[in-house]
Amino acid sequence: MSRHPLIAVSALIVVLAIFFTWPQSIHLASQAAPHHDAYFSMWRIEWIAHALRTDSRHLFDANIFYPHGGTLAYSDAAFLEGAVAAPFVWLGVGPVAIYNVLLILGIVSSGLGMFVLTRFLTNSVAAASVAGTIFMLQPYRVEHYSHLELQWTAWIPLAFWAVHRAIELRSWRFGALAGLFVWLQILSCVYYGVFLAMLIALLALVQIAVDARARAALPVLLLGAALVALLAAPYASPYLQNAKVVGSRPPFEIAEYSATPINYLASPAQNWVWGWTAQAGASERRLFPGLLAIVLAALAFLHPRRRMIWLYSVLVAAALDLSFGLNGYSYTWLHAHFGAFRQLRAPARFAMLVLCGISVLAAFGFAWVQQKPRTERRRKWVLAGTLALLAVEYTSAPMALADVPLGPIDVYEKLRALERGVVVELPLPTVDRLPGHEAVYQFWSANHWRPLVNGYSGYYPQTYFDTLLAMVRFPDDESIARLRGLDVRYIIVHRGFYGRSEHAALMKRMTDRPELVANGWYRDPVDIAELFELKR
């Protein structure tokens, strides 16, 4: 490990990631987290590959929520993950396998990013290994296991590392690299990119206030800031445009996804050790960093590098208050004065920055602990024991997985053979029971890429809700008029998503409408689908 630390740590982190996500690694091509967001991420990957190959100018004009444009920006586009995946999509690798590999890659790379940062700060391979393990295995990742973009956090510690290097060396190269890492985090996850930019600015300001070297490096740091602004502006444009269409998040929704102090004592229910604490949190608000991580972070204050430890303590405190959202002070002020913060639904996701800071402090704490044994052999045992305890404390295996429906796509092959037209797939959800099967239809739309009335994302346009209300009594006159107003040409009815009597009654009503022309029944990935054409 001392001879080739990065190689050795990479191997360790890959093994831990496989253990942490077990049995995902033996079901890469067939199973994913049983959540709508997993289907949404697979669709994003395939859409980005499709758009890059056909017309990249319309990258954000995804095929959902017809007739709206810019719909990829109704949620985080996760462009970097999509760009990494694109060559494999073009080569015909299955979307489930690509998605799962990207998911595990996000976890592994996050551990390596933290290793790079903390090895630089502590000059200890062992301490950096512990910090990397904490950052990549924290229970918060299980809470967001279905969110691909929320696993891609390697750029957070790497951005901190680049800032430290830029200040230490007054290096233009590292200043630019810090800006590049923030930009890559924005491309990976807009939430974390925005949060990281705020914490990087705070890191720089605190350093400038207390360190003459940082003041001398100010031009270098400004270069990084300018680079972020320049590179991020085109990517931000569709989000800013959509904000005019979909409006701000209602305050009650932001408050619902704002953390409270008790949430930092809650772990996901499937955690072996701390699952019993799950009731102290709720969806996206189970934020416990682990007992051993907290103990090691507290021991950091015994380490001689006090200034750096206090610096990261300030960052942790700031991120902690920001994660409280409308339950805290700083985010409430930002929400009142800056419109961008009224677009972000989940301030609790600032917890990732809290956990990043705790991982750094834990590295210092472990570095202090490892100085106590007198022999190298004992120090190795301390490291092995700490890693083993972390693995046990953070274990949530087996992960909850489900088969992804990848069966026959005859109905979509038939659709591809027909003239291009707008599609709606049934059953639709009702307004009070979103999202229904929308994420699955969206995922399956990669088989045809026709414009789709259906959709699943972070935002829903008002016209979509209007359609759901009009379609409640389909196929009555109002619903038919609504579909015609949306230029719908093809209607696909998935029998497997209906009860038997409900489906039979719907088929009877549809065959009684002369404008609905049956085009045959075909296999879909779960059962049988009837294809109808809506005549003008």
Tens of pLDDT along 322-371? 999 999 999 999 999 998 899 899 999 999 999 999 999 999 999 999 98
Residue 373 is predicted with a pLDDT of 87
Average pLDDT across the chain, whole number: 95
Residue 2 is predicted with a pLDDT of 56
CATH number of the CATH domain containing 420? 3.40.190
Q: Are residues 50 and 184 in the same domain?
A: yes
- The confidence band for 428, taking pLDDT boundaries of 50, 70 and 90, is very high
- On whether residue 435 sits in a domain, the answer given is yes
Domain that holds residue 170: 5-64+76-394
- Cα separation, 304 vs 124, in Å, equals 14
Handedness of CA 437, 438, 439, 441 (dihedral sign): positive
Q: Are residues 414 and 383 in the same domain?
A: no
Residue 200 is predicted with a pLDDT of 96
Q: Are residues 389 and 452 in the same domain?
A: no
Q: Are residues 137 and 261 in the same domain?
A: yes
Residues in the chain: 536
- The tens digit of pLDDT for each residue in 232-268 reads 999 999 999 888 878 788 999 999 999 999 999 999 9
Q: Are residues 362 and 420 in the same domain?
A: no
- The confidence band for 3, taking pLDDT boundaries of 50, 70 and 90, is low
Residue 339 is predicted with a pLDDT of 86
The yes-or-no verdict on residue 484 having pLDDT over 60 is yes
Q: Are residues 187 and 313 in the same domain?
A: yes
- Name the residue among 356, 265, 366 with its Cα closest to residue 316: 356
Segment 503-508 shows an average pLDDT of 96
The yes-or-no verdict on residue 1 having pLDDT over 60 is no
**Least confident segment among 237-251, 313-327, 430-444, 492-506:** 237-251
Residue 6 is predicted with a pLDDT of 82
Tell me phi and psi for residue 489, to 5 degrees: -115, -35
Alpha carbon 246 to its chain centroid, in Å, reads 21
Q: Given strand 488-494, what is the order of strands in its sheet?
A: 422-426, 488-494, 528-534, 516-523
- On whether residue 404 sits in a domain, the answer given is no
DSSP letter for 56, please: G
Choose the final residue of a domain: 394, 418, 444.
Answer: 394
- Cα separation, 438 vs 427, in Å, equals 9
- Name the residue among 128, 98, 116 with its Cα closest to residue 365: 128
- The tens digit of pLDDT for each residue in 389-418 reads 999 999 998 999 999 999 899 999 999 999
- On whether residue 496 sits in a domain, the answer given is yes
Give how many domains the chain has, as a whole number: 2
Choose the final residue of a domain: 394, 423, 448.
Answer: 394
Q: What is the DSSP string of 248-291?
A: PPPHHHHHHT---GGGGG---TT-TTTGGGGGG--TT------H
Burial of 434: CB neighbours in 10 Å, binned 0-12, 13-18, 19+: middle
Segment 74-102 shows an average pLDDT of 97
- The confidence band for 529, taking pLDDT boundaries of 50, 70 and 90, is very high
Q: Are strands 422-426 and 488-494 parallel, antiparallel or unpaired?
A: parallel
Q: Are residues 231 and 285 in the same domain?
A: yes
Segment 9-22 shows an average pLDDT of 92
Per the CB < 8 A criterion, the answer to whether 9 and 115 are in contact is yes
Segment 448-471 shows an average pLDDT of 96
The yes-or-no verdict on residue 59 having pLDDT over 90 is yes
Residue 294 neighbours by CB under 8 Å, 6+ apart:
358
The token duo for 235 is: 């990517």
The token duo for 131 is: 């910090």
- The tens digit of pLDDT for each residue in 106-155 reads 999 999 999 999 999 999 999 999 999 999 999 999 999 999 999 999 99
The yes-or-no verdict on residue 5 having pLDDT over 90 is no
Per the CB < 8 A criterion, the answer to whether 349 and 259 are in contact is no
Q: Are residues 369 and 425 in the same domain?
A: no
Choose the final residue of a domain: 330, 364, 394.
Answer: 394
DSSP letter for 35, please: S
- On whether residue 126 sits in a domain, the answer given is yes
- On whether residue 9 sits in a domain, the answer given is yes
Q: Are residues 247 and 146 in the same domain?
A: yes
276: left (phi over 0), alpha (psi -120 to 50) or beta: alpha
Q: What is the DSSP string of 344-365?
A: -S-GGGGHHHHHHHHHHHHHHH
- On whether residue 515 sits in a domain, the answer given is yes
The yes-or-no verdict on residue 285 having pLDDT over 70 is yes
**Does a cis peptide bond (omega within 30 degrees of 0) precede residue 347?**
no
- On whether residue 403 sits in a domain, the answer given is no
- Cα separation, 325 vs 322, in Å, equals 6
Cα pseudo-dihedral 54, 242, 244, 464, rounded to 10: 100
Residue 8 is predicted with a pLDDT of 87
Q: Are residues 373 and 291 in the same domain?
A: yes
Handedness of CA 350, 218, 158, 137 (dihedral sign): negative
Q: Are residues 424 and 343 in the same domain?
A: no
- Cα separation, 320 vs 55, in Å, equals 42
- On whether residue 69 sits in a domain, the answer given is no
Q: Are residues 386 and 282 in the same domain?
A: yes
